[in-house]
Each structure stands twice: as C-alpha cells, then as structure tokens.
Amino acid sequence: MPELPEVETTRRGIAPHLIGQRVSRVIVRERRLRWPIPEDLDVRLSGQRIEAVERRAKYLLIKAEAGTLISHLGMSGNLRLVEAGLPAAKHEHVDIELESGLALRYTDPRRFGALLWSELPLEHELLARLGPEPLTELFDGERLYRLSRGKAVAVKPFIMDNAVVVGVGNIYATEALFAAGIDPRRAAGTVSRARYVRLAGEIKRVLAHAIERGGTTLRDFIGGDGQPGYFQQELFAYGRGGQFCKVCGSTLREVKLGQRASVYCPKCQR
C-alpha cells in the first residue's frame, strides 16, 4: 500500500500541472471502488478551476472552486498525468481532463482506493478524527509519551495508530524503530520520555528522507510523474528478516505484530 511518502511524492508530481487549470471533463469508466465514485462527479468537477493540491495523511485533496476531490490510492492505485484522449488500458478507471491538454488518470487494479467529493473535506468522516501530521510541530516525543502511558499494546502498532499520528505505516515504523534502537515488541507504556523524543525525531527524519528520495518502490507503486521511488534501496530493517544487520552484523528477526510483519535487530533494538 502506498504510504505517506509515496502519496506526498505523487502530490508534488501532479500539483504543478493541476493548480490553476480548469477541468474540461471527467471520464469515469468504473465507479466501483472501495466506495462508489459519485454519479454526479463529472457535473460537480467539470468547468471548475483547481486551486490547490494538498495532502492529509494518505489522502490527496484536489481543491476546486466549489469543493474538493478526496483521493486515496488504496492498495495499488496511482495517479499520473497523460495526454488527454490517450486510450485507456485495463484498470485505468478515471480521467480528469484539463484545458491544458493533459489528463489526470487514476489507475487501480484492485479497486480498493477512493475518489470522493466533499465541500468540507476536513470534516469528512474519513479525515475528521485523524491525528497530527508527523512532519509538523504538532507531533513530537512528548505527545507519544503522554498518549502511551498505561498502554500494553506494542510500540510499533501504537505509532501506526492514525489517532496518535498519521502516515506512519509499516515500512516507516519499522525503519524509525530500528534507527531509534527500540524493540517493536516493547509495550508502548514502558518506553521512556527520552526514548520517545528520539523516536519522534527518527520518524520525522525517515519520512522526510523517503519523500526526498521519491518514496519506496514496492510492487507497483509509481509516483505522479510515472517514476518509481528509490528509498527501498536504503532500508535497514523492513523486508530484511533473516538477513544481516547493516549496523552490527547480527541476524535480523521477523515477528508478527498486529497482523503485520515486523523485522528488528535483537542486538541494536531493546
């Protein structure tokens, strides 16, 4: 599933081509996504000028004059720019054609993503109860420490809870915990304030670096410019169970936490 850096990479790739452009028409070939695409999306969006392209957690917010298109890429979706009128292949479900002659094309083989319309996007049920963005001052180690007190849940699923902080998915939680030297199995309530300060800093660093590197290429992720990400080449723990630790040489171990694979170093992380 595309995570926050992949979604931010997509946003940065498509935004310069969308902002200020007017939508000429919307072509919907398949409405059956995770939630059905609104029947009147073409009527609502056609003729509208796009004013901003923003991100909230893993949702892209394409803001027009009269409302906002909320997009989620699901398990395997992507948004990329193509020439308007380019014949669509299988799984290329939606084209948002612009007066510039380009079209924003939504592709989703598994159809687990979303394209929804809202006049008040931040009040939409999918966004209203989300925690702070990890790369803002609203998120820090003190918040992690305060919310973790008394919690027996393992620290990894704790930092992946969108009510705690958004966008820290499996890849980046694994990498941040490795960098902070924290065993992902440790009960969240037993981690000290000082270690949470370090962990928050590593979450920010890992996510910012992944965005700079264009995200992580896993399965079929493609950014808004059609190019893959390169952060996968720099992973220390995620997906490396049974391999050697790049820091100490120990064998990395893999366990299941919250039904997700978690890799850690038994020597570097405690």
* CATH code of 68's domain: 3.20.190.10
Residue 24 lies in a domain: yes
Indicate whether 216 and 170 sit together in one domain.
yes
The one catalytic residue in 3, 8, 97, 202 is 3
The one catalytic residue in 185, 204, 246, 260 is 260
Q: What is the CATH number of the domain that holds 172?
A: 1.10.8.50
- Pick the last residue of a domain from 66, 91, 123: 123
Residue 129 lies in a domain: no
What b-and-e string marks burial along 99-114, b requiring 16 or more CB atoms within 10 Å of the CB? eeebbbbbbbeebebb
Binding residues for DNA: 91, 110, 151
44 is catalytic: no
Domain count, the chain: 2
Q: What whole-number distance in Å separates Cα of residue 16 and Cα of residue 70?
A: 18
Indicate whether 60 and 15 sit together in one domain.
yes
The one catalytic residue in 2, 5, 121, 134 is 2
Indicate whether 48 and 146 sit together in one domain.
no
63 is catalytic: no
Residue 128 lies in a domain: no
Provide the pairing of β-strand 114-118 with 92-98. Answer: unpaired
246 is catalytic: no
Residue range(s) defining the domain that contains residue 17: 4-123
58 is catalytic: yes
Indicate whether 158 and 237 sit together in one domain.
yes
The one catalytic residue in 11, 58, 80, 240 is 58
Indicate whether 145 and 247 sit together in one domain.
yes
- Pick the last residue of a domain from 61, 88, 123: 123
Q: What whole-number distance in Å separates Cα of residue 64 and Cα of residue 175?
A: 36
Indicate whether 50 and 151 sit together in one domain.
no
The pair of structure tokens assigned to 267 is: 């020597």
| pLDDT per residue of the chain (270 residues) written in tens, 0 to 9 | 678 998 999 999 999 999 999 999 999 999 999 999 999 999 999 999 999 999 999 999 999 999 999 999 998 899 999 999 999 999 999 999 999 999 999 999 999 999 999 999 999 999 999 999 999 999 999 999 999 999 999 999 999 999 999 999 999 999 999 999 999 999 999 999 999 999 999 999 999 998 888 755 433 334 444 454 445 557 999 999 999 999 999 999 999 998 889 999 999 999
Provide the pairing of β-strand 253-257 with 114-118. Answer: unpaired
Q: What is the DSSP string of the chain?
A: ---HHHHHHHHHHHHHHHTTPBEEEEEES---SSSPPPTTHHHHHTTPBEEEEEEETTEEEEEESS-EEEEE-TTT-EEEEEETTPPP-TTEEEEEEETTSEEEEEE-TT---EEEEESSGGGSTTTTT----TTSTT--HHHHHHHHTT--SBHHHHHT-TTTSSS--HHHHHHHHHHHT--TTSBGGGS-HHHHHHHHHHHHHHHHHHHHTT----TT---TTSPPP-GGGG-SSTT-TTSB-TTT-PBPEEEEETTEEEEE-TTT--
- Pick the last residue of a domain from 123, 151, 172: 123
Indicate whether 26 and 103 sit together in one domain.
yes
Number of Cβ atoms within 10 Å of the Cβ of 214: 21
Residue 131 lies in a domain: no
Residue 132 lies in a domain: no
Question: pTM (2 decimals)?
Answer: 0.87
Indicate whether 167 and 216 sit together in one domain.
yes
Indicate whether 117 and 147 sit together in one domain.
no
Indicate whether 90 and 160 sit together in one domain.
no
Indicate whether 88 and 44 sit together in one domain.
yes
Indicate whether 259 and 149 sit together in one domain.
yes
Side chain identity at 204, as an amino acid letter? K
Q: Are 19 and 225 in contact (CB under 8 A)?
A: no
Residue 163 lies in a domain: yes
